[in-house]
């Protein structure tokens, strides 16, 4: 019997940047009434994740930054995995050498090289992608996007790493050409930095964590704190940073909007995020357990 349900956020639990599908909220509340556990498992940092949860009046534990931190319902950190500073310096030197801007997700907030240029490019791309929206809808979506992607603009690694006691949890790089551009970069990181893991939550991004900061590892750790095994867990997601937990869970589910390679790892595929696919998967599992 499944006792712990873990869900990704973007492209999974959320219909857009901050809205959780109403059917997903109902399903989560049903699980809570049944005495089951539900945890959000996201590439976002804690503040970004909790902002979306608060909009739906949900109080849940959170696995943040792909497994770099776990927060309980009281907002206390119960697990943390960081990237060593020497590794960060080496990696950012490499990115600088190929003119690739980077972002550091840290204990002191988010820092992005050439942030102003980055956010303007994102907004312009959003205007093209979402040309079906009314001006007011587009304005609201851009407002949400700015909140989600907020970062301090920096030019060097030293500006960030010289901050006393700062911890680096995740590094993000972005490029419009996505996987094609990232292929040699991914290969370089895998070869030079065996202590790191490279995943992706969006077509245009690479996310880099310590190898022990993976969603599958974090779900297993949280399950252990509850006295549960991975056989008693359910995990659902839509992208490559979700594969470890989908693969390791007792029941692993891919969203209908997931890439085929992610679907191939899952036990079954549910509906898309905009159609409340998480809720449909939960109801299916509960029905099968009767």
Q: What percent of the chain shows pLDDT beyond 70?
A: 98
Residues 6+ apart with CB under 8 A from 135: none
**Model pLDDT, residue 288:** 95
Which CATH number goes with the domain that contains 170?
3.30.1240.10
Helix 178-192 with 85-97: angle, nearest 10 deg: 140
In 142-195, at which residue ranges do the beta strands (DSSP E only) sit? 152-154, 168-174
* Residues 148, 243 share a domain: no
Q: pLDDT tens digits, residue range 22-64? A: 999 999 999 999 999 999 999 999 988 998 999 899 999 999 9
Same domain (yes/no): 21, 50? yes
Number of domains in the chain: 2
Mark whether 109 and 204 lie in a shared domain. Answer: yes
Same domain membership, residue 239 and residue 205: no
pTM higher than 0.75: yes
Q: Domain boundary at 164, 183, 210, which?
A: 210
pLDDT digits (tens, 9 = 90+) for 100-150: 999 999 999 999 998 877 787 777 776 776 777 777 777 777 777 777 778
What are the φ/ψ torsions at residue 112 (nearest 5 degrees)? -130, 135
- Percent of the chain at pLDDT above 90? 79
In this structure, are 141 and 31 located in the same domain? no
Shared domain for 12 and 122, answered yes or no, is no
Q: What is the pLDDT of residues 212-224, one digit of tens each?
A: 999 999 999 999 9
- Encode pLDDT of 73-96 as tens digits: 999 999 999 999 999 999 999 999
CA distances from 290 to 5, 31, 204, 287 (A): 17, 14, 42, 5
């Amino acid at each position: 019997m499944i006792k712990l349900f873990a869900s990704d956020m973007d492209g999974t639990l959320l219909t857009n940047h901050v809205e959780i599908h109403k059917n997903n909220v109902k399903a989560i509340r049903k699980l809570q009434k049944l005495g089951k556990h539900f945890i959000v498992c996201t590439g976002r940092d804690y503040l970004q994740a909790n902002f979306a949860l608060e909009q739906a009046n949900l109080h849940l534990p959170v696995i943040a930054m792909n497994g770099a931190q776990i927060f309980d319902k009281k907002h206390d950190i119960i697990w943390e995995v960081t990237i060593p500073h020497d590794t960060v310096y080496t990696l950012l030197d490499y990115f600088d050498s190929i003119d690739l801007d980077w972002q550091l997700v840290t204990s002191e907030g988010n820092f992005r090289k050439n942030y102003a240029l980055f956010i303007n490019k994102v907004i312009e791309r959003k205007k093209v992608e979402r040309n079906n929206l009314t001006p007011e809808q587009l304005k609201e979506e851009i407002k949400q996007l700015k909140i989600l992607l907020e970062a301090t603009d920096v030019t060097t690694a030293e500006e960030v790493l010289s901050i006393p006691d700062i911890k680096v949890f995740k590094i993000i790089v972005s490029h419009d050409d996505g996987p094609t551009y990232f292929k040699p970069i991914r290969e370089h990181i895998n070869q030079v930095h065996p202590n790191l893991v490279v995943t992706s939550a969006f077509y245009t991004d690479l996310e880099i964590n310590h190898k022990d900061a993976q969603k599958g590892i974090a779900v297993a750790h949280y399950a252990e704190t509850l006295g549960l095994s991975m056989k008693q867990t359910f995990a659902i997601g839509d992208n490559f940073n979700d594969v470890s937990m989908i693969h390791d869970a007792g029941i692993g589910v891919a969203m209908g909007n997931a890439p085929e390679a992610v679907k191939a790892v899952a036990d079954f595929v549910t509906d898309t995020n905009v159609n409340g696919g998480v809720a449909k998967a939960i109801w299916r599992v509960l029905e099968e357990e009767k």
